[in-house]
Amino acid sequence: LWGRRNISAAPFVFPEAKVQAVQWAEAARAAARAGRWSEAEEMWRKVLGADAGHPEALYSLGVHALQAGRMEESIDLLRQACAAAPGEATVWVFLSAALRTAGRPEEAWEAIQGALVADPYSLPALLAKASLLEETSGTAAAVVTYRNALKVAPPSQHWPAHLRGELEHAARLVEAETKAYQDYLLRSLDGLVRQAQPTDRSRWREALSIMAGASRPYLSDANQLYVPRLPAIPFFDRSHFPWIEALEAQTDEIRRELEAALATAQGAFNPYIAYAPGQPVNQWGELNHSDRWSTLDLWKSGAPVADNQAICPGTTSALAEVDLAQIEGLCPNVMFSALAPRTRIPPHHGETNARVIAHLPLVVPENCEYRVGFDRIQWRPGEVIVFDDTLEHEAYNGSDCLRTVLIFDVWNPLLSTDDRAIVLAMAAAARAYGGA
């Protein structure tokens, strides 16, 4: 409870009584650790007898008095402790608690301000401030401070046990207020958003969500080759891709080849996630070497997979009319992707924004969802979607059936022919340097 440092550890080099006070302080701490509170209190009183300004003794006895309900004694001792150790936020927090329990909210507020002067990022002080605001001025006044407390708190799985209840309360209030604010913004601007171009409406809904604090900006993050200053577009308009309709017209043939491969070439499907032992798997632990997400590759890292193309000739032929991204050692990747029932692909980022990803959905049961950045869609069999996978994205099959999609890489339509040439040169230089 004493905070970042042990003030009583400062050297006491003269009178003998102060030397003995150090010994009593050690005994008090040992008794407290063992839960012998009466003994600890007795030792701290001896410390105070020898050193009336001993900050840790004043603080510890003040906390004892607070827990015993002796409010005036607690307030007096804790005020003295704050004067002796003004930089210890924890002491101010307990003084505020004593004053608040004694029905003196104005003085409790001053004590909390003292705690935050000592340490503006003190989690207990922020929670105490928010709680006092909630009690005296209502929820709306407290939400900003609760939100600040959650920002400085560790991830929820690491919340301190003695603060968990307060943090859970803070999270509930912040979530409710955030939703109320988001709903208000959406209602207030609904007319204007509806007047925007259809392709822009999701963008403005995302802007309102970010303003309300309901979501964060999703930024492009490529694992390998990143082209700066390209717009991060979750889902591209179909007009960028003149080959889409011709490919969609082949959906039935492509689906027949997929179903035949599933029935007769099960060994050609392999887990998409396959980290070697000793490699960090991060979010992929549940899917590593799992058939719950498996693929049959027609091209892999830019190279054709001849055996699989031979069992899917119609699909291979249909893709000849598609502007597949050709970056040696990286893409195209073309695969049938099979996602098992009740399986989620966790949020992740792709390799490069020089190419974008296309899906031709083939078998899509109900309750299957796809998210790219802020935007969520439902796959529709036979309708191609194209998206930037360097934005965080995830997939979910919430049905009891297998979900299958044809996935392939195409050039980012915002790159010119000259841009493509530079991308290819960058990739070649990276390979040459790595080989050297």
Q: Report the amino acid identity of residue 361.
A: P
Q: Is the pLDDT of residue 389 over 60?
A: yes
Q: Is the pLDDT of residue 7 over 80?
A: no
Asked if residue 272 and residue 151 are part of one domain, the reply reads no
What's 234-291 look like in SS3?
CECCHHHCCCHHHHHCCHHHHHHHHHHHHHHCHHHCEECCCCCCCCCCHHHCCCCCCC
- What are the φ/ψ torsions at residue 120 (nearest 5 degrees)? -60, -15
Asked if residue 416 and residue 293 are part of one domain, the reply reads yes
If pLDDT is split at 50, 70 and 90, which confidence band does 267 have? confident
Asked if residue 171 and residue 262 are part of one domain, the reply reads no
Encode pLDDT of 28-85 as tens digits: 999 999 999 999 999 999 999 998 999 999 999 999 999 999 999 999 999 999 999 9
Record the tokens describing residue 5, joined without a space.
Answer: 């440092």
Record the tokens describing residue 96, joined without a space.
Answer: 């505020």
Look up tokens 């979501």; give the residue: 215
Q: Is the pLDDT of residue 13 over 70?
A: no
Asked if residue 407 and residue 277 are part of one domain, the reply reads yes
d(CA 204, CA 202): 5
Q: Among 405, 227, 231, 224, which Cα is nearest to 330's?
A: 224
- The reply to whether 200 falls in a domain is no
Among 136, 158, 175, the domain-final residue is 175
Encode pLDDT of 373-387 as tens digits: 999 999 999 999 999
The DSSP bridge pattern shows strands 303-304 and 375-377 to be unpaired
Domain that holds residue 141: 7-175
Q: Hey, how many other C-beta atoms are within 10 angstroms of the C-beta on 344?
A: 16
> Reading across the β-sheet that carries 368-372, which strands appear in turn?
343-348, 393-397, 368-372, 375-377
d(CA 82, CA 272): 60
If pLDDT is split at 50, 70 and 90, which confidence band does 11 have? very low
Q: What is the mean pLDDT of the chain?
A: 93
What is the full DSSP assignment across 360-406? EEEE--SSEEEEETTEEE---TT--EEE-TTS-EEEEE-SSS-EEEE
Angle between helices 71-84 and 89-101 (to 10 degrees): 160
Asked if residue 422 and residue 337 are part of one domain, the reply reads yes
**CATH number of the domain that 416 lies in?**
2.60.120.330
If pLDDT is split at 50, 70 and 90, which confidence band does 15 have? low
**CATH number of the domain that 153 lies in?**
1.25.40.10
Asked if residue 271 and residue 154 are part of one domain, the reply reads no
Q: Hey, how many other C-beta atoms are within 10 angstroms of the C-beta on 356?
A: 26
Q: Is the pLDDT of residue 1 over 50?
A: no
- The reply to whether 73 falls in a domain is yes
Asked if residue 292 and residue 425 are part of one domain, the reply reads yes
Helix (H, G, I), strand (E, B) or coil at 207: helix
Phi/psi zone of residue 297: left (φ > 0), alpha (ψ -120 to 50 degrees), beta? Answer: beta
Among 121, 140, 175, the domain-final residue is 175
d(CA 36, CA 27): 11
Q: Hey, how many other C-beta atoms are within 10 angstroms of the C-beta on 340?
A: 16
CA atoms within 13 A on the CB side of 238: 12
Q: Is the pLDDT of residue 5 over 60?
A: no
Asked if residue 282 and residue 153 are part of one domain, the reply reads no
- The reply to whether 198 falls in a domain is no
d(CA 408, CA 315): 11
Q: Is the pLDDT of residue 265 over 90?
A: no
Q: What is the pLDDT of residue 9?
A: 37
The residue count for the chain: 436
Asked if residue 409 and residue 284 are part of one domain, the reply reads yes
Q: Report the amino acid identity of residue 135.
A: E
Q: Is the pLDDT of residue 285 over 50?
A: yes
Percentage with pLDDT > 90 across the chain: 90
Record the tokens describing residue 401, joined without a space.
Answer: 């059936």
Q: What is the pLDDT of residue 275?
A: 94
Q: What is the DSSP letter of 225?
A: B
- The reply to whether 280 falls in a domain is yes
Asked if residue 162 and residue 305 are part of one domain, the reply reads no
Q: What is the pLDDT of residue 16?
A: 59
Encode pLDDT of 318-340 as tens digits: 999 999 999 998 999 999 999 99
d(CA 303, CA 258): 20
- What are the φ/ψ torsions at residue 302 (nearest 5 degrees)? 90, -10
Encode pLDDT of 181-217 as tens digits: 999 999 999 999 999 988 889 999 999 999 999 999 9
d(CA 383, CA 362): 9
Among 175, 203, 218, the domain-final residue is 175
The number of folded domains in the chain is 2
Record the tokens describing residue 435, joined without a space.
Answer: 């080989």
* Contact present, 397 and 403 (Cβ < 8 Å): yes
- The reply to whether 186 falls in a domain is no
Asked if residue 158 and residue 302 are part of one domain, the reply reads no
- The reply to whether 195 falls in a domain is no
- The reply to whether 180 falls in a domain is no
- The reply to whether 231 falls in a domain is no
| Over residues 250-273, mean pLDDT | 92
3-state helix vs strand vs coil in the chain, percent to 5:
55, 15, 30
Asked if residue 246 and residue 158 are part of one domain, the reply reads no
For the chain, the first-to-last Cα distance in angstroms comes to: 57
The DSSP bridge pattern shows strands 375-377 and 368-372 to be antiparallel
Encode pLDDT of 132-183 as tens digits: 999 999 998 999 999 999 999 999 999 999 999 999 999 999 999 999 999 9
